[in-house]
Amino acid sequence: MPTNSMSYGGAKVLHAPDDQALVDRFAAVPSEALRGDSKRIMIDPDKVGRDLARLVLSVIDLLTDLMERQAVRRVENNVLSDDEIERLGQTFIALQARMVELKTAFGLENEDLSLTLGSLRDLISDSE
Amino acid sequence: MTFYVYAITDRPQEPLPSQLGRDDAELEQIAWRDIGAVISTSGGSRSAATSDDLWRHEEVVEALMAGRAVLPARFGTSLPSHRAVSEMLSQSYTRFVQDLERVRGHIEIGIRFLATAERQSTDSSPVRDALDAAAAQSENSAPPHVASNGFDRSGLGPGTAYLQAKVTKQRFSRDRRRVGLGMVQKLCAALVSQATVSRLDAEPADRHGISAAFLVPRDRLASFQAIVGRIADAHPELALLCTGPWPPYSFVTANATEPATKRSSNGHAH
């Protein structure tokens, strides 16, 4: 039986690593179920500008991720010329740079863009 | 007003447990033929869910499991009216009955394997060797002057270098997940023999883990747990977390909020 307990449901642990640091890493992984409810998009009337930016940037971040995966697939399938690969890569670099600027302008961190976007997020899982 | 759903159960004629539901609301039951939905009423909008809410949901479902076969609803499932609950029961009745029959007398055990290649050890192991081999194959499956994704390494522009890095990263991630799943699948063979049903899933790429869920007859819990202990002892390089017993969240095929024409598995994180 484990000697370690976790912040959630220690009584539910049937076996855990002896190394507490590893147990903490398991506990640090957010529960999908809880994420699904607590990180839904909420617009606060007092911070509507920042919250809208957070929503819009989350969607852009997701779409960028999807486009990059599609670009990687096309590169791997050799359907792009060298020039097209270079231009595509530079476009992604410019997009990332712009995203950094916008996140800074609205005081947002990368974690702020990990909103639950319902079935949109499934697009990422499906493409992996 | 909304109606928060905890579970679909058999034996709706049995009294409900005294357990209070979310926001300390009393439990209610809506029956249809020989099955029922256990719900509580929630008034208006509420603040974001907390881990206490999650555990309250779990406590209600476990209390129900003491006397019934139970299909746990996914945390956060709500329907707008009593009528919607009744329609959900009637429309998916056949599927609910089949699922209830399958999970009766069973509990779910979850196992998560985390970051198998990152344990600090100088010892070799089949798991780490396989993962290392996958990583090496990702990098070295092309001639020396050509990267594994087909790029010529000489004279890369910044855009090409950016995409090259993405290709390498995604290929490594894919290979690692594939090999990791295969290795865990082999290790889990002994556990699968103790379970009625099992499923193995690679977690999203940002977590680098593998999750397994087992539908285990209640009377086999001890032997299942003993096998888990033996696997952990034999593979100290694996970070393995085994939890349970849980309601059979991963083995419900009928979803309480989807129409009968659209089905998906009911997810739950252990």
What is the per-residue pLDDT across B57-107, written as a single tens digit (0 to 9) for each?
999 999 999 999 999 999 989 999 999 999 999 999 999 999 999 999 999
Kindly list the residues from chain B whose CB atom is less than 8 angstroms away from the CB atom of residue A71.
163, 166
Tell me, what's the pLDDT at B146? Answer: 44
Nearest CA in chain A to B237: A17
pLDDT band (50, 70, 90) for residue A59: confident
Mutate to test the interface with B, among A13, A19, A26, A80 (most CBs of B within 10 A): A26
Among partner residues B159, B166, B242, which is closest to A68 by beta-carbon distance? B166
Whether A58 and A80 map to the same domain: the answer is: yes
Inspect the interface and report whether the beta carbons of B149 and A29 lie closer than 8 Å: no
Q: How much is the pLDDT for A2?
A: 32
Share of chain B above pLDDT 90, in %: 48
Based on the structure, what is the number of domains in chain A?
A: 2
* Partner residue opposite B149 with nearest CB, options A19, A76, A89: A76
Helix (H) or strand (E) holding A123: helix A119-127
For the purposes of burial, counting CB atoms within 10 Å of the CB of B25, is it exposed (0-12), middle (13-18) or buried (19 or more)? middle
Domain residues for the domain of A24 are: 1-30
| Mean pLDDT computed over every residue of chain B | 80
Whether residue A79 is found in the same domain as residue A52 = yes
What confidence score (pLDDT) does residue B18 get?
A: 92
Q: Which residue has the higher pLDDT, B106 or A42?
A: B106
Least confident of A40-44, A112-116, B69-73, B144-148: B144-148
Contact check, Cβ <8 Å, B158/A125: no
| Same domain as A62, residue A16 | no
> Å from B117 to nearest chain A CA?
13
Would you say residue A38 has pLDDT above 70? no
Angle at the Cα of B47 from the Cα atoms of B41 and B48, rounded to 5 degrees? 105
Whether residue A51 sits in one domain with residue A6: no
Domain boundaries, chain B: 2-104, 109-246
User: What's the CA gap between B72 and B5, in Å, rounded?
Assistant: 9
Q: Which of B54, B115, B207 sits opposite A33 (nearest CB)?
A: B54
Q: Are residues A72 and A112 in the same domain?
A: yes
Q: How confident is the model at residue B261 (pLDDT cuts 50, 70, 90)?
A: very low
Structure-derived torsion over alpha carbons of residues A67, A69, A70, A71, reported in degrees to the nearest 10: 90
Q: Is residue A122 part of a domain?
A: yes
Token pair listed for B155: 């004279």
Residues A114 and A63 in one domain: yes
Residue A35 falls within a domain, yes or no?
Answer: no
Q: What is the mean pLDDT of residues B47-54?
A: 80
Q: What is the ipTM of this complex?
A: 0.70
Distance (Å, rounded) from C-alpha A16 to C-alpha B120? 17
* Average pLDDT estimate for B243-265: 70
Mean pLDDT confidence for B204-225: 84
Nearest by CB to residue A33, choosing from B115, B161, B268, is: B268
Residue in chain A closest to B53 (alpha carbons) equals: A34
Do both A71 and A109 map to the same domain? Answer: yes
Say yes or no: A28 contacts chain B, CB-CB below 8 A: no
What is the overall mean pLDDT for chain A?
75
Whether A16 maps to a domain, the answer reads: yes
Sequence letter at residue B39: I
Identify the closest residue of chain B to A82 by CA–CA distance.
B160
CB atoms within 10 A of CB B45: 6
